[in-house]
Structure 1
Amino acid sequence: MDIHEQGRLRLVKAGPLGPIANNAYLIQDKETGDTLLVDAPQDAETILSELNGGKVVRIFITHRHQDHWAGIDAVKAAANAPVFCHESDREPYAAKVDGTIVDGETFAIGGLTVKAIHTPGHTPGSTCLLVENRLLSGDTLFPGGPGRTRNNADLQTSIQSITSKLFELPDDTIIHPGHGDDGRIGDSKREYEVFASKEHPADLCGDVNWEES
């Protein structure tokens, strides 16, 4: 597990978890112990060993794909905390969801402020979370490119979400994605400039790499 400490913030990254190498995260206020769990892939309950005496007060799932929900029953039972997601990705897990959030909404985890950024494209309800200078991007944005899309319309929606919202963040914002390694917004912007400088097939979608597609 990777642990990052920054002021009151303690961020724990666990991964790879499950069959497709997911990441799960704890966002913890070191002073109060209040903790947010972000995503619940298979084996996500293992991250709870890093609570360091704290308590999970909320669980947030970044989008509706099954690999991010596979461990929800285990972590909810262990943490006894409410589960939130964006309304557009509530299905097919509505029975497990206790509440929804909207674009721009902020909420407190102890003395930390977390902001929700709705970034449709990968799924209709994909939502990133921003705390301090750290972006938990789910499957919206990875180092090298956007999350996988099923068709070009979804890719264009994802690009619009990324360029109009995420690329407005400072270049030194750290990206903590739903799979794989961390990155920085400034690097992603430079990679995207390569993509934007080229022509692309009208049906481009799937796994897009900013510099190679």
Structure 2
Amino acid sequence: MAYTGNVATGGAPDVRELDALTITKVSVGPMENNAYLLRCRATGDQLLIDAANEAPRLLELVGDGGLATVVTTHRHMDHWVALEEVVAKTGARSVVHAADAEGLPIDSETLTDGDTIRLGDCALEVIHIVGHTPGSVALLYRDPAGFPHLFTGDSLFPGGVGNTEKDPERFASLIDDVEHKLFDRLPDDTWFYPGHGKDSTLGAERPAVPEWRARGW
């Protein structure tokens, strides 16, 4: 079946097979967080984006292939409840942006804007998006055989940017970073994978960006 990105907590994961990378999306409770397991098809190396919750389920997803890295997109607790257990049982390294490192339950390597995270023969670009938290990141995979794939955490969703708790400075920072670092740089066919809910493309959301900015959330 074709990948849709529509998953439900307690339901089956959805799998997308690219030429060089396999993306598995799963929803975990209780806050319907998305976690993404990426596997390099050439080497079998695996990386998890957001060990959000339900550690046994995430470990089952990882299977016997081992886990090289866990990337936490930002410091909010619902995105790292399973982090400590997953790292302890797999030996994976934990990485997070330096500005959000203090919010995590374990010591982690730190990232900065523009860093590259290697996953076997594949690479993810770190894009620092300030506003939802000081150290939120998006991860960009530029598929040599297709369109870009962007993992946005809680910075960008279908229908708007992430929550900034009605703080005008945080919102201005977030909408600026999302517009200039994502929409201005990447093409319409860029598929993005958020921290909760359904996926979308930048092209589907682009016409609404001025409306998001005008409404202030």
Specify the TM-score bucket, using the shorter chain as the normaliser. 0.7 to 0.9
SS in 2 for 1:116: strand
Partner of 1:140: 155
Partner of 1:91, secondary structure, is helix
Give the whole-Å Cα distance in 1 for the aligned partners of 2:191 and 2:24.
14
Equivalences for 1:47-196 in 2 at 5 Å? 47-51=58-62, 53-93=64-104, 96-132=106-142, 133-150=148-165, 151-167=167-183, 168-196=185-213
Gapped regions of structure 1 (runs ≥ 5)? 209-213
Aligned-pair Cα RMSD in Å? 1.5
| Structural mapping, 1:6-45, within 5 Å | 6-15=18-27, 17-45=28-56
Letter in 1 for 2:14: D
Change (3 A) 1:104 1:47: same
Counterpart residue identity of residue 126, structure 1 = S
Contact 1:45 1:78 in 2 (8 A): no
Q: Is contact 2:76–2:103 with CA below 8 Å preserved after alignment?
A: no
C-alpha distance in 1 between matches for 2:192 and 2:65: 24
TM-score (norm 2): 0.86
Q: Whole-Å Cα distance in 2 between the matches of residues 45 and 176 of structure 1?
A: 23
Which runs of at least 4 in structure 1 moved beyond 4 Å after TM superposition?
none
State the alpha-carbon separation in 1 of the partners of residues 58 and 37 from structure 2.
Answer: 8
Q: CA deviation at 1:8?
A: 1.2
CA distance change for structure 1 residues 169 and 44 in 2, over 3 Å: closer, same or farther? farther
Say which SS state the counterpart of residue 103 (structure 2) adopts: coil
Structure 2 Cα separation of the partners of residues 195 and 18 of structure 1? 28
Tell me the secondary structure at the aligned position of residue 157 of structure 1: helix
TM-score (ref. length: structure 1): 0.88
Give the superposition deviation at 1:130.
Answer: 0.7
- Contact 1:33-1:53 within 8 A present in 2 as well: no
1:211 paired residue number = none
Superimposed CA distance per residue, residues 65-117 of structure 1 (whole angstroms, 9 cap, x where no aligned partner): 00001111221122211100000001132x61331011011121000011000
CA distance in 1: counterparts of 2:64 and 2:53, whole angstroms: 23
After superposition, the Cα gap between the structure-2 partners of 1:45 and 1:170, relative to the gap in structure 1 and judged at 3 Å, is: farther
Structure 2 alignment gaps of length 5 or more: 1-12, 143-147
How far, CA to CA, are the matches of 1:176 and 1:195 in structure 2?
19
Count of matched residue pairs: 198
Once residues 126 and 163 of structure 2 are traced to their aligned partners in structure 1, the CA distance between those partners, rounded to angstroms, is: 21
| Aligned mates of 1:139, 1:113 — CA distance in 2 | 21
- % identity of equivalent residues: 37
